[in-house]
Amino acid sequence: MAIDIFWRIPTHGEPSSLCNKLHHRGDWSQQEGDHIVHRGLAGGGSDGFNSLDYIAEVARAAEISGFHGGLIPSFPMTDEPWAISSFLARETSTFRFMIAFQPGFLNPVTAARMTASLQRASNGRALFNIITGGGGPAQLWWGDVAPHDDRYARTTEFLDVLRGLWKGGSYSHHGKFYQLENAALPEQLLGQDFPEIYFSGSSDAALVSASQHADFYLSWLEPFDQLKEKFDKVKEKTDKLGRKVKCAVRVDIVARATEEEAWREVRRGFENLTDADKERYARFAQQTGDSVGANRQRSNTPKNLDNYQDFILHPNVWSGFSLLRGGQTNGIVGSYEQVAERLDDLVRLGADSFILASTPHLEEAYRVGEEVLPLLQGHSARNSVLRAVG
């Protein structure tokens, strides 16, 4: 057995480095001169390029560099992963499309047909990041009405139906959320691999659902002891139900030839922050919401926001990433060797898979694939003792 390493697709465009706040790539910045403008054909007329062409290049970079594929996130302000996956199926070879989606948004029969069709279009390269978290008005924005705890029950039932249809033959189901009578996938759509499921969610209801359907339990990076506790709990719970669930960590990294260069990158990004950026961050840190995972992240915020070093939680673990770009707070910063060592530490405390990201995703896919991945011991690291950290 060995670990799987994925990359992430920047669906919201991105700047050319962590130090730059303008999203030159993609069309998220719209000021004159601050983003790439497709210039048209030499002889006149539209060249037909759009932000998907950059995403396609990141996906190709990831597959060329040795990643299994990439997480394609889904946010209110970004393009949708089902679209990206079907569009790019033909021009990629080994890149696996990890589609983030909330089961409540699709009829399960439609979802089963889409999934099987995408498997055929991509030669079996679709997998899921099933999301159920969030809640309240945000959910209604998407047109979804189920309350928080019910939604995990619905996720479970949705995946039950998907698996039921996947087996072939006539399938009926009378559940709390879904009813089907004599449903069936057509013959030529059968026999595909069922998509691997990366499951997100930190509440107890989430863990119950994960224990029935998840292949990988996906967490953001948390302080290592907290993460170990969480993984132990997940593995214990799911072992009891007879389903072996593996664990995965979604983490941003800054890897450079030397540790000093890596921290310089972080420091420069930090020094570029405006007071307004920091105030926004402080406000976020004080909020509480329905998402247990987001609340866990907020608990690590330092009291004052003056020195980037105050955000260092462990050697090579920095908790200020959400200041520099949207998303999770914690990430790994260090030399190629150090980053590889920290990732191996995470393997020792239970990680079986990683979703890595670094800005800009195109160039960094090559750097990480060429410099960091070859240093990883992966599951072989488990044979050596966990070194003391922090």
Partner 1 sequence: MTIQFYWQVPTRGDGRLADAAVKLRGERSNDQPYFTAGVTDPRGRQFNYYDHLHQIGKAAELAGFDGLLVPNDPQGEESWIVAGYLTRNTRRVKVLAAFDSARGSAVYAAKNAVSYQRYSNSRFAWQIATPADAAERRANGDFIDDADIPQRTEEFVTVARHVITETGYSFKGRFFEVLEGGFKGPLSGQAVPQVFLTGQTAADLAVSAKLADVHVFGALPLAELKPHLERLLELSAKARRPVQAALRIDLLVRETAAEAVHDAARQARQQGQTALPDQAGLWALQTPGTGAARATLVGDADQVIATLADYAAAGIRVFQLGAVPALEEAYRIGEQVLPALRARLGLTQQQAA
Q: How far is the CB of 25 from partner 1 (least distance, A)?
A: 12
Task: Tell me: cis bond preceding 360? Omega within 30 of 0 counts.
Answer: yes
Quick one: angle between helices 51-64 and 81-88, nearest 10?
A: 70
Q: Under the criterion CB under 8 A, does residue 82 sit at the interface with partner 1?
A: yes
Measured between alpha carbons, how far is 355 from 71 in angstroms, rounded to an integer? 7
Q: Does 189 interact with partner 1 (rule: CB under 8 A)? A: yes
The verdict on 141 binding partner 1 (CB under 8 A) reads yes
Do 237 and 201 meet the contact criterion of CB atoms below 8 Å apart?
no
Taking CB under 8 A as the criterion, which residues in 28-47 touch partner 1?
A: 28, 30, 46
The minimum distance between CB 388 and partner 1, in angstroms, equals 46
Q: Are 155 and 132 in contact (CB under 8 A)?
A: yes
Question: How far is 390 from 384, CA to CA, in rounded Å?
Answer: 18
Q: By the 8 A CB rule, do 355 and 349 touch?
A: no
**Residue span binding partner 1 (CB under 8 A) among the ranges 50-58, 198-206, 234-242, 365-373:** 50-58
- CB of 78 or CB of 219, closer to partner 1: 78
- Taking CB under 8 A as the criterion, the residue among 27, 160, 229, 363 binding partner 1 is 27
User: Is 332 in contact with 316 (CB distance < 8 Å)?
Assistant: yes
Is 180 a binder of partner 1 (CB under 8 A)? Answer: yes
CB of 222 to partner 1, least distance (A): 30
The distance of closest approach from Cβ of residue 348 to partner 1 in the complex, given in angstroms and rounded to an integer, is: 40
334 forms part of the interface with partner 1 (CB under 8 A): no
Q: How far is the CB of 384 from partner 1 (least distance, A)?
A: 42
Based on C-alpha coordinates, what's the Rg of the chain?
A: 21
Smallest separation, CB 219 to partner 1 (Å): 26
Taking each helix axis from N to C terminus, what angle separates 224-240 and 204-213, rounded to the nearest 10 degrees?
60
Binding residues for partner 1 restricted to 84-123, rule: CB under 8 A: 84-91, 104-111, 113-114, 116-118, 120-121, 123
Nearest residue (CB) to partner 1, 178 versus 284 = 178
Residue 87 Cβ vs partner 1, minimum distance, rounded to whole Å: 4
Q: Quick one: DSSP state of residue 254?
A: E
Residue 180 CA to residue 262 CA, distance in Å, equals 54
Q: Show Cβ contacts of residue 346 under 8 Å, excluding neighbours closer than 6 positions.
A: 221, 224, 227, 249, 251, 354
Residue 124 touching partner 1 (CB under 8 A):
no
Tokens at 239, concatenated: 């072992």
| Residues in contact with partner 1 by the rule CB under 8 A | 13, 26-28, 30, 46, 48, 50-52, 76-80, 82-91, 104-111, 113-114, 116-118, 120-121, 123, 137, 140-145, 161, 178-184, 186, 188-189
